[in-house]
Amino acid sequence: MSPANTNLKETITTLLSQIGMSARAFQGTGLISCSPITGEAIGEVSSHTPTEMRAAIEKADLAFKGWRCVPAPKRGELIRLFGEELRQNKEALGQLVTIEAGKILQEGLGEVQEMIDICDFAVGLSRQLYGLTMASERPGHRMMETWHPLGVVGLITPFNFPVAVWAWNFALAIICGNATVWKPSEKTPLTALACQHLFDNAVAKFKDAPDGLSCLIQGGRDVTDVLVDHPRVALVSATGSTEMGRSVGQRVAKRFGKSLLELGGNNAMIVTPSADLTLAYRAITFSAVGTSGQRCTTLRRLFVHRSMKADVLTKLKQIYESLPIGNPLEEGTLCGPLIDGHSYTAFQNTVHKAQSEGGNLVAGGVRVLSDQYPNGYYVSPALLDMPDHTDSLFTETFAPILYVVSYDTLDEAIAMNNQVPQGLSSCVFTTDIREAEYFLSAQGSDCGIANVNIGPSGAEIGGAFGGEKETGGGRESGSDSWRNYMRRATNTVNYSSELPLAQGIKFDL
């Protein structure tokens, strides 16, 4: 039987037992997990207390003291074993993500693939935690930098990427020699339990990893506050809304801790007259509608050259009216539910606000399938033809709403791209190399991600991921993001029998 036709609670039980977990693990009290597919409760896990959070931080701190002495390539071996666990359980974990977060199965599986990819990346990286050597101005001296683990790393993650965002941070933090304490979204506690279980399996195979290397603490603001404020937590990596980051960033800064913030996006695409429109339409659809508009990199603002806007809107209307919206477990569905009723209210309010600003609702914008799923919130993605870059376009509403605005010059389109407070992802569709390079240049997009002929969503793990301004400035995943999880020491060694001072200073006794 297809998973879409079975009772969700039973499916969850089957999936968790496939992963090797006992039913008791998800029969705690305090934190109820509901599936956005039907709105029904699918499990309950124990909610932890602030005292338990403090104990977890202390345990992780002890684990760190042992783990930092394990050579980095050996630490990589633990992550290699974890990657193996993920490979073996990809199908079950992917389905779990779909049921708990509501994204279509292909995207659930893709999210687990991202975890596997970052594990592979981290294994290689565990042999490449390089520092530089510098030329010293003094004879008989050598200068270099060394990178050391930070300590306890706190991880706060959102509902929309319940496993990948954790894995991006976790795999790198572990190979860098840290211990972690994870506080996942209250909306996705089961996937968090499953991840922790799979990591525990890897630890059992590895044999000599210290207890407490990865602590999972579930709960609400009271436990998160302890994590954010605790002086033993060297780095807080927090992914979620800008509102959350504003609070977490300030609190961590107050105690001079480090924070890595990955916050809201408000992403744009510019379609120029020379664009390959076949590519552009596919990219627009995937990035505006995929994950029901609940990606930080979702396309929200589309800037189309004035000469083409009417045609582009006609084509997009056609596409939007034929979108397969429905149960994300069913094959063929491209757009699943919103996470909950609050999200639906935000969707509705924003569509109305945009209309009050002169926006014309070209397609979608309403709740659908409410007879079939009275407690599930499915919407037809909204396509709005906007008269200008109005007030609504400055805010990220975490739902599928695409605003289309016309422009006359590329400079005007780039100015609108950069005008919003967020700075995560952006792209241009063009076949003109001058336009492409200009968009990527210092005068172009001000975002952390700027693409040519690729939509703003669906990044690979090899690049540094993150954005500027209210997106928080953090970089995770590939490139040299690993440095965020380590501290740099500058070392100068004098192997001569003199003691010359820097800058030629004379200070003789």
- Which residues of the chain form contacts with ligand NAD (CB under 6 A)? 156-161, 165, 183, 185-186, 224, 228, 239-241, 244, 247-248, 262-265, 296, 396, 398, 424, 471
**Amino acid, res. 86:** L
Q: φ, ψ for residue 461 (rounded to 5)?
A: -75, -15
Closest distance between ligand NAD and the C-beta of residue 354, in Å? 18
How far out from the chain centre does Cα 203 lie? 25
> Nearest approach, Cβ of 229 to ligand NAD (angstroms)?
10
> Using CA atoms, how far apart are residues 52 and 226, in angstroms rounded to an integer?
10
CB atoms within 10 A of CB 51: 10
Instruction: Confirm if 100 and 190 have CB atoms less than 8 A apart.
Output: yes
DSSP 307: G
Distance CA 485, CA 265 (A): 23
Amino acid at 91: E
Whole-number minimum distance, CB 476 to ligand NAD, in Å?
Answer: 7
- What letter would DSSP give residue 444? S
CA 457 to chain centre: 11
What's the token pair of residue 226? Answer: 């302890």
Q: Taking the complex as a whole, how short is the minimal distance between the CB of residue 143 and ligand NAD, in angstroms?
A: 35
Q: Which residue among the candidates 296, 335, 427, 447 is catalytic per the annotation?
A: 296
In angstroms, give the least distance from the CB of 446 to ligand NAD.
15
* Burial group, residue 241, by CB count within 10 angstroms (0-12, 13-18, 19+): middle
Q: What are phi and psi of 49, to 5 degrees?
A: -105, 165
Q: Are the C-beta atoms of residues 385 and 395 closer than 8 Å to each other?
A: no
Tell me whether residue 201 or residue 218 sits nearer to ligand NAD (CB atom): 218
> Quick check: 52 and 223 in contact, CB under 8 A?
yes
Whether 447 is a known active-site residue: answer no
How many other C-beta atoms can be found within 10 angstroms of the C-beta atom of residue 292?
A: 29
Which two tokens mark 62? Answer: 């002890």
Nearest approach in angstroms of CB 289 to ligand NAD is 16
Q: Which is nearer to ligand NAD, 160 or 214 (CB)?
A: 160
**Residue closer to ligand NAD, measured from CB, 79 or 228:** 228
| C-beta separation of 428 from 403 below 8 A | no
Give residue 25's identity as a one-letter amino acid code.
A
- Residue 509 CA neighbour count, 13 Å, CB half: 1
Q: Can you tell me the distance from the alpha carbon of 42 to that of 66, in angstroms, rounded to the nearest whole number?
A: 38
User: At its nearest, how many Å lie between ligand NAD and the CB of residue 451?
Assistant: 16
Q: How far is the CB of 503 from ligand NAD (least distance, A)?
A: 43
The identity of residue 55, as a single letter, is A
Q: The tokens of 65 are what?
A: 């003291």
Contacts of 402 (CB under 8 A, 6+ apart): 284, 288, 299, 300, 301, 302, 316, 381, 382, 383, 384
Q: Is 296 a catalytic residue?
A: yes
Closest contact distance (angstroms) between CB of 299 and ligand NAD is 13
Q: How far is CA 24 from the centre of its chain?
A: 30
Q: Which amino acid is at 302?
A: L
Which entry of 77, 186, 262, 470 is annotated as an active-site residue? 262
Rg (CA), the chain: 24
Non-local (6+) Cβ contacts of 303 within 8 A are 268, 269, 270, 271, 405, 406, 407, 413, 416, 417
Output the smallest distance, CB 217 to ligand NAD, in A: 11
Q: What is the DSSP string of 83-99?
A: HHHHHHTHHHHHHHHHH
Residues annotated catalytic, as ranges? 262, 296
